[in-house]
Amino acid sequence: MSAFSKVVVAATQHRLVTKTVTETTPGRAVAERFVAGDDLDAAAGVAADLNRRGLAVSLDLLGEEVHDRASALSAADRYVDSIDRIGSDGIAGNISIKLTQLGLSFDRGLAAESLDRLAARAGEIGSTVSVDMEASEFTDATVDLYEAAQRVHGNLGLCVQAYLHRTPEDLERLIPLGGHIRLCKGAYLEPASIAFQTDDDVDAAFARLLELLMLADGVTPAIATHDTRLIDLTLKLADRRSGPWEMQMLYGVRPGLQSELVDAGNPVRIYVPFGSEWYAYLTRRLAERPANLTFFVRALMGRR
Ligand SMILES: Cc1cc2nc3c(=O)[nH]c(=O)nc-3n(C[C@H](O)[C@H](O)[C@H](O)COP(=O)(O)OP(=O)(O)OC[C@H]3O[C@@H](n4cnc5c(N)ncnc54)[C@H](O)[C@@H]3O)c2cc1C
């Protein structure tokens, strides 16, 4: 994460900034660019539209770091609703979940039970469950819970972060489990002791892991980036790949490039976040690009 991003993440954690973004029309307008809507109906509408254009989806119910049992169970119920909607609407897609939303930070057993329930339900409709990778304090538990669920159900996938020094070792454990492995750069503030700090180092690590995944058998590499240099490298490696693979991109980020890739015949999945708990997600998107902040400031000044 760049110095700029670190400043933005720190600023967005300030209470006044939170209030300005969540409680003003311009703040919500910025969120609309990256979030499909407040509820499942809105997400299903966006998914249908993306499917019509040839893009698969991954539905992400926003919310993370849930701290009580009732909220964690409610999130799991809402994910079951999302799976059922994928089945009933015939959406080409799956769900993407955060284990802290299912209670990981206070009750690992509860998160494991809910993950098991979601994988079983997704299996019933022939779908899959992707597990997001969160801040590093949860990496060990996330890999463990993923491994346990994947061994039973076989229809899961996990995200790995190129910026973490540990990721090559994690992949040695994860690749033999099959499933889909989403490779991303990593979106959290992590210290130099465990994560690469410069864009060049993260990009180089991404390229090494990309090659490893695209040459591996038995897994579905899901390459999650909007970085054209890394996308070009993915397309080159895809020419040599016989097994399944896909590109993944975020709803609202470089939509023109998303269309170009799918129109050229490449498999592309769009990560579609929805729900009212969008603030933490939005701060990560703002931090990734100075222009997003300019957009927000212009909106605040009524010049959207
Ligand atoms: C499908 C998907 C799932 C993800 N899941 C996770 C996860 O589970 N855990 C995790 O830590 N991270 C996750 N991420 C986020 C990821 O780690 C990066 O923070 C994010 O993708 C930006 O990195 P980039 O590879 O696009 O490269 P960057 O170098 O950040 O961006 C390359 C170019 O893409 C464009 N771009 C990138 N981001 C934005 C933006 N927000 N707004 C406008 N333009 C932008 C810009 O033109 C930029 O120059 C996910 C990303 C994707 C695409």
The architecture (CATH level 2) of 39-277 comes to: Alpha-Beta Barrel (3.20)
How many CA atoms lie less than 13 Å away from 70 in the CB half-sphere?
A: 0
Pick from 78-92, 206-220, 277-291: least confident: 277-291
Q: Residue type at 100?
A: T
Q: What is the pLDDT of residue 16?
A: 59
Q: Where along the chain do its domains lie?
A: 1-35+278-304, 39-277
The predicted model scores a pTM of: 0.91
Positive or negative, the CA dihedral 108, 78, 282, 156 is positive
Q: What is the pLDDT of residue 98?
A: 96
Q: Which residues of 92-114 are buried (b: 16+ CB within 10 A; e: fewer)?
A: bbbbbbbbbbbbbbeebebbbbb
Q: Indicate if 203 belongs to the active site.
A: no
Strand partners, 224: 248
Q: What is the pLDDT of residue 29?
A: 74
Cβ-contact 244, 216 below 8 angstroms: no
**pLDDT tens, residue by residue, 139-194:** 999 999 999 999 999 999 999 999 999 999 999 999 999 999 999 999 999 999 99
Span 232-253, average pLDDT: 96
Distance from Cα 89 to the centre of ligand 1, integer Å: 28
* Listed residue (220, 234, 225) closest to 266, CA to CA: 234
Average pLDDT over the chain reads 91
Q: Indicate if 182 belongs to the active site.
A: yes
Cβ-contact 282, 253 below 8 angstroms: no
Q: What is the pLDDT of residue 33?
A: 84
186 within ligand 1 shell (Cβ under 6 A): yes
- Tell me the C-alpha distance between 49 and 61, whole Å: 18
* Listed residue (302, 303, 304, 297) closest to 20, CA to CA: 297
Q: Say if residue 21's pLDDT is above 80.
A: no
Q: Residue type at 73?
A: L
The minimum-distance atom of ligand 1 relative to the CA of 249 is 53
Q: Say if residue 13's pLDDT is above 70.
A: no
Q: What is the pLDDT of residue 32?
A: 82
Distance from Cα 161 to the centre of ligand 1, integer Å: 11
The residue whose CA is least distant from atom 53 of ligand 1 is 249
User: Nearest 5°: CA angle at 48, between 43 and 53?
Assistant: 125
Q: What is the pLDDT of residue 11?
A: 61
189 within ligand 1 shell (Cβ under 6 A): no
Cβ-contact 118, 127 below 8 angstroms: no
DSSP string, 94-146: EEEE-GGGGTTTT-HHHHHHHHHHHHHHHHHTT--EEE----GGGHHHHHHHH
Span 241-253, average pLDDT: 96
The minimum-distance atom of ligand 1 relative to the CA of 227 is 32
Cβ-contact 36, 62 below 8 angstroms: no
161 within ligand 1 shell (Cβ under 6 A): yes
Q: 2, 201, 289, 292: which to mutate for ligand 1, most atoms within 8 A of CB?
A: 289
Residues 6+ apart with CB under 8 A from 209: 160, 162, 167, 168, 171, 183
Distance from Cα 285 to the centre of ligand 1, integer Å: 7
DSSP tag of 189: -
Span 222-246, average pLDDT: 97
Q: What is the pLDDT of residue 303?
A: 45
Radius of gyration of the chain, Cα coordinates, nearest whole angstrom: 18
Q: Residue type at 201?
A: D
Span 64-72, average pLDDT: 91
Q: Say if residue 73's pLDDT is above 50.
A: yes
271 within ligand 1 shell (Cβ under 6 A): yes
295 within ligand 1 shell (Cβ under 6 A): no
Q: Residue type at 182?
A: R
Q: What is the pLDDT of residue 194?
A: 98
**Please, which pLDDT band fits residue 256 given cuts at 50, 70 and 90?**
very high
33 within ligand 1 shell (Cβ under 6 A): no
231 alpha-carbon distance from chain centroid: 17
Q: 223, 250, 286: which to mutate for ligand 1, most atoms within 8 A of CB?
A: 250
Q: What is the pLDDT of residue 30?
A: 73
Q: What is the pLDDT of residue 1?
A: 61
Span 203-220, average pLDDT: 97
Distance from Cα 226 to the centre of ligand 1, integer Å: 6
- Tell me the C-alpha distance between 138 and 17, whole Å: 27
**Please, which pLDDT band fits residue 222 given cuts at 50, 70 and 90?**
very high
- Tell me the C-alpha distance between 98 and 101, whole Å: 5
Taking CA atoms, 190 is separated from 177, 196, 263, in Å, by: 27, 8, 37
DSSP string, 198-235: SHHHHHHHHHHHHHHHHT-SSSEEEEE---HHHHHHHH
Q: Which two tokens stand for residue 152?
A: 């039973």
Q: What is the pLDDT of residue 65?
A: 79
